[in-house]
Every structure is written in structure tokens, then in C-alpha cells.
Amino acid sequence: MEDKEDAKRIVFVTVGTTSFDALVKAVVSQDVKDELQKRGFTHLLIQMGRGIYFPSKCDCEDGSLVVDYFTFSSSIADYIRSASLVISHAGSGSIFETLKLGKPLIVVVNEDLMDNHQCELAEALEERKHLYCARPQTLHQALTKMELKSLVRYTPGDGTPVARIIDRFLGFPDD
Amino acid sequence: MDKNCGCFYSKMVTKCNFGLLIITLAIILMVRALFIIYRCGKALPKRASESFTTLVVLGSGGHTAEMLSLLSVLRKDRFTPRFYIAAATDNMSLQKARSFEDSVADKPAVMEASSQFMQIYRSREVGQSYVTSVWTTIVAIVHALWLMIRIRPQVILCNGPGTCIPLCVIAFLFKVLGIRWSSIFYVESVARVKKLSLSGLLLYKLRIADQFFVQWPQLQKKYPRAHYVGCLM
């Protein structure tokens, strides 16, 4: 049993609070599933939000990729923690949650969004080699090119510089 | 005839005086507004000794997470009491702020006194039509005014999106009218790398934000009055 748990390599897909059917469709497409399996992943777990596209579940006994999905969960962090690879929408919450947990991440940008500034963040972090960035239609390509070893671990920042400037502005002494 | 004429004359004078009064008032207010804009970004002249009544405007999802990251490093005794405002449609943010306050409070009783949580109507929801948003904007402004009169903050911390704009504009008017002096701090979201958000742009260009923070160096180059502070997350 324990051996089986160890052998579990989960890909966790998250679309956040809205829906992103194009991403769900992309991850369950045959070529993406094949590529994931080729890279030794065993499970594909999808958080699909308010989407209306339901992928077909598969608890394949024949050794092919196990596919499962759910809509929402209050403990997304636990799913990220258990995953070996995260494929996420471009929301900053999901991105930083994954990076802080040190998990390899592919961000898929939703091109249907009106005010699409979200790709800015994903692309800037890709430039610093913290993650890979893709579109739904280029996900397969991104997966084949992906080299997890070349990713640079993200060092979380904090609000200390802001707090110092605010304190000085208001006339508080530095401590 | 004479009497009539005098009456007309005196009416003219009062009308004239009234006009003069209005013009004088307008000039005074304009000078005052210019003074406030001039003072924008200049540190408070006195050494702070007590704490500041602080208004924290929570955006949603990622914005709230960034704001709580900032609050976790601010000294609570300097920013007390704290009032949290979030959009009425956003249930998660106030919940997160509550659990944040719970985690920093030594005793529940202390927390009761030092922090309050409020909701505000939004002027426009995502996807709402522009016609109906005229009415909802009026409601939102009146509501914002009512909240600001109740809180009268000395420090405002905000990081977008739009919810913070009416509150900051009212704070600016409070300064002009001498109702309450406040310092406004705006932190642009980490998601903005090349361009400011509309809220950020407004508060920067109109010089409403006293200190403006960006999390990417590219933005600081474009907006030199901003401070580059690295990622909050």
C-alpha cells in the first residue's frame, strides 16, 4: 500500500474561482495525457470551478493516467502540496501559493478574459525561470519542452520595505 | 418709484454679495486643494507619538492576500483601531481579515476594540451595463461617504481594485475641507508588471496617494514617484 502511495505522482490542475473550460479541455486531450504519462505522472486531478465541461473520469486499472475532478475546495493548498506538478490559471493567488510550496508550475493564460493583464505576471515570472507559461493550445508544446530541473526556486517576499516607508512617512522611529 | 428702485438696487447688491461670496469660497477651496496636492507625498511634520485610526480597503482574492501580507509586518500598536472595508459582494475577504485579526490578537476582547469589519456597495460589478451603473454609482458614493464620516481615518491602506477610489476621493475632500487629515498609501498589485491598473493610475496621476508602491522595477522606471519594493508575496 505504502509503495503505491510513493509511486503516486499527481498533476493538479486548478482554474480558480471562475471557469476555464479551455484549460480543462486542453489537459484531458489525448496528446497532453500521453505526454504526462510519458513523464511518469500517474494521476490527473482537476479543480474545474464553475466550468460546464466535465471531463470523463477514469480510474484506469490498465496503468494509464487516472483522471478525476471536483468543482471547488477550501483546501486547495493541500492539493498543491500533494502534487508533483501544478497546472494553473494565471491568477496571482494560485501562482504564489504554488511557488511558495516549491512545486513546479505551468501557468496557462486565459485569452478569453477581457482585461488580460494576468499574462504580464506569468510572463515576468517565466523570465525569471520560476515557472512555465502557456496558452491552452500550446500546453502540449510547453509540456514537451519543459525541463523541471531548470526552474529556479522562488524566494517569497514580504511587506517589510513598504512598512518601513510608511512608518517613516508617519514619523515613527525605526525599530 | 424711488423706493422700488432702492429695493431693486439692494437686491442687486445682495445678489452681487452672494456671487462674490461663492467666488471667494471657490477660490479658497481651490487654493486649499492645491495646497493638499502640494503636500501630497510629504511626510508628516511631527514625530508620531500615538497610534493612527487606520482604514484597510480589501480588494478581493489576490489583492486581499497581498494586503494581509503587508499588515502582517506592520506594527499593530501603531495602526489602531483598524477598520476593514470590502465590497458587499466579496464574502471571502472580510472572513480572511477576521481570521488574520484573530491570529494576531492576544485576547479576543482586545480584538473587539481594535478592529471592525464593514462592507461597501460597489459602483459597478463586472459585466454590469453602463446605464444601470449610473444609479449604482450614486448609491455607492453616498454609502462610501457615510462610512468615511463614521470612520474618519488618519491612515488609508489600499491596493485596488476600484473599491478604494471613492473612499480615497472622499478622504481627499476631507483634507480640503479640513474635516480630517489622512495619509493615503497605495500598493499596486504584483500582477501589474508593465502597466498600472486604472485605480493605481488615477491615484498616482491625481496625486491622491501620498506614497505609491510598485512591485516590479519596470513600473518604477515609468512612474518615478513610486517606490519599488519587490514582491509582497
Rounded distance, CA A143 to CA A30, Å? 13
Query: Nearest CB to B69: which of A158, A168, A170?
Result: A158
Residue B134: the pLDDT is 83
Residue A2 pLDDT:
44
Taking each helix axis as running N to C, give the angle between helix A92-100 and helix A118-127, from 0 to 180 degrees, rounded to the nearest 10: 30
- Tell me the pLDDT band of B9, cut-offs 50, 70 and 90: low
Q: Nearest CA to CA, how far is A78 from chain B (Å)?
A: 18
By Cβ distance, the residue of A121, A123, A157 closest to B230 is A157
Residue A117 lies in a domain: yes
**CATH code assigned to B54-228:** 3.40.50.2000
Q: Which of A118, A161, A166 sits opposite B191 (nearest CB)?
A: A118
CA angle A125, A131, A136 (to 5 degrees): 105
Average pLDDT over residues A58-63: 78
**Does residue A126 form part of some domain?**
yes
Q: Of the candidates A96, A168, A169, which has its C-beta nearest B233's C-beta?
A: A96
| A161 touches B at CB < 8 Å | yes
The mean predicted confidence, pLDDT, of chain B is: 88
**Interface with B, mutate which of A166, A174, A175 (most B CBs under 10 A):** A166
> Has the ipTM of the complex gone over 0.90?
no
Residue range B168-194, pLDDT digits in tens: 999 999 999 999 999 999 999 999 999
State pLDDT tens for residues A147-159. 999 999 999 999 9
How far apart, in whole angstroms, are the C-alpha atoms of residue B77 and residue B5?
68
Distance CA B178, CA B161 (A): 27
Mean pLDDT of B199-214: 96
Task: Enumerate the domain spans of chain B.
Answer: 1-39, 54-228
Let me know if residue A150 belongs to a domain.
Answer: yes
Domain count, chain A: 1
In a domain, A175, yes or no: no
Cβ of A169 and B210 within 8 Å?
yes
Q: Rounded distance, CA B75 to CA B80, Å? A: 9
Contacts of B48 in chain A (CB under 8 A): 170-172
Residue A153, in any domain of the structure: yes
pLDDT in tens, B26-39: 999 999 999 999 99
* A43-47 and A66-70 beta bridge pairing: parallel
Residues 144 through 163 of chain B touching chain A, CB cutoff 8 Å: 155
Inform me whether the C-beta atom of residue B220 falls under 8 Å from chain A C-beta atoms.
no
| Range(s) of the domain holding residue A47 | 2-170
Q: What is the CATH number of the domain that holds A90?
A: 3.40.50.2000
What is the C-alpha separation between A88 and A118, in angstroms, rounded?
12
SS3 B191: coil
A136 Cα to chain B: minimum distance (Å):
20
Amino acid at B56: V
Distance CA A81, CA A10 (A): 10
**Contact list, B75 vs chain A (CB under 8 Å):** 163, 167, 172, 175
Report the range of poorest mean pLDDT among A62-71, A107-116, B158-167.
A107-116
